[in-house]
Amino acid sequence: MIFLSLVGYILSGAQPDLRVTIGFGTKAYGIRRLSIITPEAEEVPSLSIKNKKHKFEYSKRFEYKWRDNAIHTVQVLPPKPGAGPSEVAVKGLPDFQIPVPAQGAGVAGVLIGDPCVVLSSITSLVGCEYGLRFKTGERTPALLNAFVGGSPNQTDFFGILGDNFYDRDGKTTKHIFSELSTATKATPLLTVPGNHDYWILGEPAIHTQLDQFANGHMQFYAQDTKAAEFARPGAAGAAAVPFNFSNDPTKGQLPALENAFQYYQIGNLGVVGFSGAYTLEQSLPYMKEACTWFGEKAEDGKLEVAMMVGHWDVAGMGASDAMATPGFYEHMKVLPGCKELDAKGMLKFFMGHTHCNVPHPHGHLNTGFMVAGQGMEGCGNYGIPILDTTGGRVRVYYFPIDDKKNAEGADNYDTTMSCLKENNGWRKCLHLATTWLDQPIA
């Protein structure tokens, strides 16, 4: 564990917002990018590691979009064996720990997509059909707090797979994250942009200058992507910038692809995150690189399972057939490194876009999973999916919370929350879950 203590930084009356993400794959295993998001007018928070003062490697007002925010980010090295935890202090938050599972150990993570609340954007006001019925504004953060932050030593990461709160200006996102506990936000977060993170109406053909083009998304969520590969721990100045700002959204340009492609390992799980908004030709060199890297780690015996996380499940709204997640999988599974994993049934994918929580979408039996039933119009189911690679098996569980087919008020929310609270996590509440997948690790 990396132990962090964050104490008393409040100038605006609001806590600084914490983000922890996993270091890009070519960096040392266990590196975490720790980021603090503050209002742009506030001073840079103080930082100390092991009681020694440090500076954030990159500290700057957001570029282009969501410019009422600033990001302060630093890479935290895992403790050496026997050296004890890395104590970090930044003013404003209570003490917490960042989990760093042993390389090769089984892990578990919560994965959702397309979360909506009836706030802010026209898309969420019109499209969040079940937001009020399912009480997503209250329940989604509460469920994440219970399944992620409230399940110590059970949940190693969580993911939001695009169309993150259907937010054009960042206000809804900040509100939702203010409802998440420090323990939840100290858990590594993975995310990818969806079509509504680029263009609020979901289509590139009808974009406006008000759209964020995923620039707010990439800075607020502070993933350690390909763009940050050579921003190594301890870097300063231009060498520490974790983003590629070369493309200008005021000209209708998407961020450089490097900002939306990442791969890394957590425990025995390899992860590749990508965006369907780019072409296969642009993405293929990085796809080959990620698969080669997976293959090398698998040969060492410490990477046993790999998953791809994307947003689109079908072509359209900015994605081609090849770059919707099932198509991306078809191209990845034949590449060296991924081919061997797929032959063992150990290459999986998760996605959002079509607003359902279902296993085996589009016929990908025991391989693909859709996790986008989080309030938007569509299937009308709502729940929490979990990927689990512990105990020598790969399992996907689904905790159903509510469904449009249920009578009004006949949901599982109170029962589920009570079970998690009573049992200090979700593992003793699996009688409330449906098992979507259960297979031995090959």
Task: Give the domain ranges of the chain.
Answer: 102-440
Per-residue pLDDT band at 51 (split at 50, 70, 90):
low
Q: Which residues of 33-64 are buried (b: 16+ CB within 10 A; e: fewer)?
A: bbbbbbeeeeeebebebeeeebebbbbeebbb
Q: How far is CA 345 from the centre of its chain?
A: 24
DSSP-assigned letters across all residues of 93-126: S--EEE--PPTT---EEEEE-----SSSSHHHHH
In DSSP terms, which residues pair with 108 in a beta bridge? 388
Mean pLDDT estimate for the chain:
92
pLDDT higher than 80, residue 121: no
Across 6-10, 146-150, 402-406, least confident range? 6-10
pLDDT higher than 80, residue 50: no
Classify domain 102-440 by CATH number.
Answer: 3.60.21
Q: What is the pTM of this model?
A: 0.95
The H or E element spanning position 33 is strand 32-39
- Look at residue 3 in the predicted model and tell me its pLDDT: 47
Please answer whether residues 315 and 321 qualify as being in contact, where contact means their C-beta atoms are separated by less than 8 angstroms: yes
222-263: per-residue pLDDT in tens?
999 999 999 999 999 999 999 999 999 999 999 999 999 999
> Average pLDDT of 70-84?
77
Distance (Å, whole) CA 222 – CA 166: 18
83-115: per-residue pLDDT in tens?
554 556 666 777 777 778 999 999 999 999 999
> Closest by alpha carbon to 195, among 246, 260, 141, 151?
260
> Average pLDDT of 262-268?
98
Per-residue pLDDT band at 78 (split at 50, 70, 90):
confident
Q: Is the dihedral of CA 145, 149, 151, 157 positive or negative?
A: positive
Please answer whether residues 120 and 168 qualify as being in contact, where contact means their C-beta atoms are separated by less than 8 angstroms: yes
Place of tokens 């198509």: 327
Distance (Å, whole) CA 405 – CA 398: 17
- Look at residue 54 in the predicted model and tell me its pLDDT: 75
- Look at residue 6 in the predicted model and tell me its pLDDT: 42
> Closest by alpha carbon to 437, among 345, 334, 353, 355?
345
pLDDT higher than 50, residue 378: yes
Kindly report the length of the chain. Answer: 442
DSSP-assigned letters across all residues of 248-287: -GGGTPPPPGGGG-EEEEETTEEEEE--TTS-HHHHHHHH
Distance (Å, whole) CA 336 – CA 358: 29
pLDDT higher than 90, residue 289: yes
CB-based burial of residue 236 (10 Å sphere; 0-12 exposed, 13-18 middle, 19+ buried)?
A: exposed
Q: How many CB atoms lie within 10 A of CB 279?
A: 13
Please answer whether residues 376 and 410 qualify as being in contact, where contact means their C-beta atoms are separated by less than 8 angstroms: no
CA distances from 71 to 136, 401, 402 (A): 27, 34, 36
424-438: per-residue pLDDT in tens?
999 999 999 999 999
Q: Is the dihedral of CA 59, 61, 62, 68 positive or negative?
A: positive
* Pairing relationship of beta strands 32-39 and 17-22 according to DSSP bridges: antiparallel
Q: What is the DSSP letter of 204?
A: G
Q: Is the dihedral of CA 353, 358, 363, 364 positive or negative?
A: positive
330-359: per-residue pLDDT in tens?
999 999 999 999 999 999 999 999 999 999
Q: How many CB atoms lie within 10 A of CB 242?
A: 26
- Look at residue 8 in the predicted model and tell me its pLDDT: 35
Distance (Å, whole) CA 11 – CA 31: 30
Residues 6+ apart with CB under 8 A from 436: 359, 360, 369, 385, 396, 397, 398
- Look at residue 176 in the predicted model and tell me its pLDDT: 95
Q: How far apart are the first and last CA of the chain?
A: 28
Please answer whether residues 308 and 328 qualify as being in contact, where contact means their C-beta atoms are separated by less than 8 angstroms: yes
